[in-house]
Homo-oligomer: A and B are copies of this chain.
Amino acid sequence: MINLGMASLRLCAGLVGRRSGFCARSLRTITGMTVSQIDEEVAKLLELKTQLGGDEGRHQFTLKTAKGTRDYNPKQMAIREKVFNTIISCFKRHGAENIDTPVFELKETLTGKYGEDSKLIYDLKDQGGELLSLRYDLTVPFARYLAMNKVTNIKRYHIAKVYRRDNPAMTRGRYREFYQCDFDIAGQYDPMIPDAECLKIVHEILSELELGDFRIKVNDRRILDGMFAVCGVPDDKFRTICSTVDKLDKMSWEDVRSEMVKEKGLSEEAADQIGQYVSLQGGMDLAERLLQDAKMSQSKQACAGLTDMKQLFSYLQLFQVTDKVVFDLSLARGLDYYTGVIYEAILTQTGPVPVAATQNGAGEKAEEGVSVGSVAGGGRYDGLVGMFDPKGRKVPCVGVSIGIERVFSIMEQKAEASAEKVRTTETQVMVASAQKNLLEERLRLTAELWNAGIKAEVMYKKNPKLLSQLQHCEDSGIPLVAIIGEQELKDGVVKLRTVHSREEIDVSRAELVEEIKRRTSDV
């Protein structure tokens, strides 16, 4: 219940007591209050809060990142770079261009695009000016970009962080700030060709990342809607029933059924009919069967979706990816904007259980045979761009988003388990000396190497011990050491030491760069 009146009354009374002339300016009564007047009110209250907060908050400093977010340390970044390179290579192989959009959008740009998930959007504080929100995905900003720039066809990728005020489960790679790697094809084309390429891309990326076996579930919003119609779901309940079906990957059918009937008010008969359909899985054969299905075939929408599904599978056969793709009628995906094909990729192998997860107990336990969850998803959204175009001009789009936080988690665990050390720098050579008073000579040689494009490090100490210089090479995997001393300087040579074998040879200063390049050409 809202309790504004008394609080503001007292607040006013108190302030009047403290400052004279406070209630002087005349304002209209509430029935005439405008947004900007409320803004002023809010600003005043917040200023008051700042004054109070300055005293109350002083001693509660906490050293942490915001809830649901994390830093990436150098080792994690090295792994992340490798994953990104694999994904970007794939996107480029498919001829995609790259775009970027701001991290925040006008709040109204995101309004009405995410259905029940809209509550998870991060808003920025109203500090005067526009109302802004952090992007929730990369799809809506992409559609806004297309409409704003009147782009009618493009194949682009976009890799960036998105933000959701969800319940984080960080041990399972679920964060409030996380990367999405999106690939989308916009344009008016013949049916299912771009859609098939998106699935081919998911197949390539998940294969190349070597994350173990995976499956790509495919369905179609038109098949879902047709199914809801023939099962007797009222039109205005399609979206909310769809959201409930979407929970089938986390909840049992019994619980989903119960939510439909008890919370959403669906009839038991309708729920049971849906239950029969959503248990179906198959390939092109299933699409054919359902086209003959007495009930399904009554829905024009379903028939259109099923015909396209057959077409899609024929292209997937040409792309040789049908081994991993399943037509699954239980796949729903919650977002409002999908209009056609939808898909989601899951890893089917049980990953190693993260240590933190097992410590947290049963709730987080990854059980034998249970999938570690969705790692990619997407679909067709032919209406979204039209929502932004002043004249409602549509640009058909289909795309896929790789959710790589879980991929990172798995790769990190693999790296932990592996004997091979992850290098966090690419340094080829350490410039060192065993004797004192050679800092200037070390710096001079290091600069020579930098200028020749060699990746080189030098210790920031006047007289470091040789052992500590060598130890740094061992620790960070630097393969070579260029050692100088009085004698080497006199002879115009450098002692080049291979860290791994401890072998040392004298190399003339003039040949040093070439020798380092030759020895590290595979690094």
Q: Which residues of A contact B (CB under 8 A)?
A: 1-19, 21-31, 33-35, 37-42, 44-49, 52-53, 56-57, 60-67, 69-74, 77-78, 80-81, 92-106, 108, 122-127, 129-130, 132, 134, 144-145, 147-149, 154, 156, 161, 163, 165, 177, 185, 187, 189-190, 193-194, 196-197, 200, 204, 315, 318-320, 388, 390, 424-427, 439-440, 443-444, 447, 450-451, 453-457, 460-462
Q: Which of B10, B26, B106, B461 contacts A27 (CB 8 A)?
A: B10
Whether A457 pairs with B95 at a CB distance below 8 angstroms is yes
Query: Nearest CB to that of A2 among chain B residues?
Result: B44
Whether B49 pairs with A39 at a CB distance below 8 angstroms is yes
Q: Are A28 and B10 also in contact (CB < 8 A) when A318-B447, A455-B95 are?
A: yes
Whether A22 pairs with B40 at a CB distance below 8 angstroms is no
Q: Which residues of B contact A69 (CB under 8 A)?
A: 102, 104
Whether B46 pairs with A42 at a CB distance below 8 angstroms is yes
Whether B78 pairs with A460 at a CB distance below 8 angstroms is no
Which of A2, A4, A47, A388 has the most B CB atoms < 10 Å from its CB? A4
C-alpha gap A425/B91 in the complex (Å): 10
Whether A200 pairs with B450 at a CB distance below 8 angstroms is yes
Q: Which of B53, B78, B440, B460 contacts A189 (CB 8 A)?
A: B460
Q: Which of B7, B453, B456 contacts A40 (CB 8 A)?
A: B7
A sample of 5 more A-B contacts (CB under 8 A), given A8-B12, A12-B30, A190-B462, is A3-B27, A8-B9, A63-B148, A103-B177, A318-B443
C-alpha gap A383/B21 in the complex (Å): 45
Whether A7 pairs with B35 at a CB distance below 8 angstroms is no
Q: Which residues of B contact A97 (CB under 8 A)?
A: 74, 77, 424-425
C-alpha gap A17/B7 in the complex (Å): 16
Q: Which of B23, B64, B163, B460 contacts A9 (CB 8 A)?
A: B23
Looking at the assembled complex, report how far the CB atom of A386 sits from the nearest CB atom of chain B, in whole angstroms.
Answer: 12
If over half of A's interface residues share one DSSP class (helix, strand or loop), that class is named, otherwise mixed; here it is mixed
C-alpha gap A108/B177 in the complex (Å): 19
Whether B147 pairs with A63 at a CB distance below 8 angstroms is yes
Whether B194 pairs with A460 at a CB distance below 8 angstroms is yes
Q: Are A156 and B74 also in contact (CB < 8 A) when A44-B4, A48-B4 are?
A: yes
Q: Which residues of B contact A106 (CB under 8 A)?
A: 62, 64-66
Whether A66 pairs with B104 at a CB distance below 8 angstroms is yes
Looking at the assembled complex, report how far the CB atom of A482 sits from the nearest CB atom of chain B, in whole angstroms.
Answer: 14
Whether B14 pairs with A67 at a CB distance below 8 angstroms is no
Q: Which residues of B contact A73 (CB under 8 A)?
A: 99, 149
Q: Which of B34, B44, B122, B443 contacts A319 (CB 8 A)?
A: B443
Q: Which of B18, B74, B165 contacts A30 (CB 8 A)?
A: B18
C-alpha gap A45/B12 in the complex (Å): 15
Whether A14 pairs with B40 at a CB distance below 8 angstroms is no
Whether A72 pairs with B100 at a CB distance below 8 angstroms is yes
C-alpha gap A48/B34 in the complex (Å): 10
C-alpha gap A190/B187 in the complex (Å): 60
List 17 interface pairs A-B (beta carbons < 8 Å), by A numbering.
A2-B44, A5-B16, A10-B33, A13-B29, A18-B30, A35-B56, A62-B108, A63-B390, A65-B101, A65-B106, A70-B102, A71-B102, A71-B145, A102-B177, A125-B126, A187-B460, A318-B444
